[in-house]
Amino acid sequence: DSGVTQTPKHLITATGQRVTLRCSPRSGDLSVYWYQQSLDQGLQFLIQYYNGEERAKGNILERFSAQQFPDLHSELNLSSLELGDSALYFCASSTSPGERGETQYFGPGTRLLVL
Amino acid sequence: AQSVTQLDSHVSVSEGTPVLLRCNYSSSYSPSLFWYVQHPNKGLQLLLKYTSAATLVKGINGFEAEFKKSETSFHLTKPSAHMSDAAEYFCVVSDRNNDMRFGAGTRLTVKP
């Protein structure tokens, strides 16, 4: 158990809908990272927050957004969902804003199915 | 930009035999390299990492990896496979900003 929690575990929704995925980092970690894992694209970095501020952006679509709250939990919002958004979404956390070689600890993921 | 190539999408070994999962990297900066394991329906767990200290890195569950700069490789090995090692393994390279790039993964099957 990494200490990173994600809810819900599974989510089934329809195209065009909006969902929110939630992540609580390990105690003491200030950075939260979001990743998408799909069969065709593999594991891709979406976005990072550090202590409430956006720190780095990866391959995140404009339909997706995220935020980190004062208690350090983070939410990933996915809107206007398409079939291709079906994937496993991981959250990871670390202590620093992104020091070289720092370990990221991953949560169990949220499996999203868009029908 | 950095990238990583896992040379085998699937490796199958018999229980008790050695495991070799191959990874080559590309980086314009001194990289940090990681191996993560993902068991079915689970998150990713760190096996080991290299960050410019000893080139031979020992990880959990008997795994180790050797950083070879001349070959730009970071292959993962284990002397004797166990049934519980069956999983997906990811090689990851990160640069000085800790921008992590994942390989496509290698699925390890362990036969009894």
Asked whether the beta carbons of A81 and A18 are under 8 A apart, the reply is: yes
Asked whether the beta carbons of A83 and A15 are under 8 A apart, the reply is: yes
Asked whether the beta carbons of B59 and B105 are under 8 A apart, the reply is: no
Q: Check residue B41 and give its pLDDT.
A: 78
Flag whether pLDDT at A51 surpasses 90.
yes
Q: Check residue A26 and give its pLDDT.
A: 96
- The DSSP code sequence of B34-78 is EEEEE-TT--EEEEEEESSS-SEEE-GGG-EEEEETTTTEEEEEE
Of A89, A90, A53, which Cα lies nearest the Cα of A69? A53
Residue of A nearest to B42 (CA): A108
Flag whether pLDDT at A39 surpasses 90.
no
Task: Extract the tokens encoding A35.
Answer: 């990743």
Flag whether pLDDT at A75 surpasses 80.
yes
pLDDT in 10s for each residue of chain B, 112 residues: 789 999 999 999 999 999 999 999 998 788 899 999 999 878 899 999 998 778 999 999 999 999 999 999 999 999 999 999 999 999 999 876 677 889 999 999 999 9
* Residue in B32, B43, B51 nearest the CB of A106: B43
Asked whether the beta carbons of B49 and B39 are under 8 A apart, the reply is: no
Instruction: Give A80→chain B minimum CA distance, Å.
Output: 26
Q: State the amino acid at position A71 in one-letter form.
A: D
Asked whether the beta carbons of A109 and A83 are under 8 A apart, the reply is: no
CA-angle at A72, arms to B32 and B93, nearest 5°: 15
* Conformational region of residue B47, where left means phi above 0, alpha means psi within -120 to 50, and beta covers everything else: alpha
Q: Check residue A96 and give its pLDDT.
A: 84
Instruction: Give A57→chain B minimum CA distance, Å.
Output: 10
* Conformational region of residue A110, where left means phi above 0, alpha means psi within -120 to 50, and beta covers everything else: beta
Dump pLDDT digits (tens) for A14-28.
999 999 999 999 999
Sequence-distant (6+) residues with CB within 8 A of A54 are A47, A48, A66
d(CA B40, CA B44): 10
d(CA B11, CA B66): 19
Residue of A nearest to B30 (CA): A100
**Weakest mean pLDDT among A11-15, A94-98, B95-99:** B95-99
**Residues of chain A positioned with their CB less than 8 A from the CB of B99:** 45, 56, 58, 98
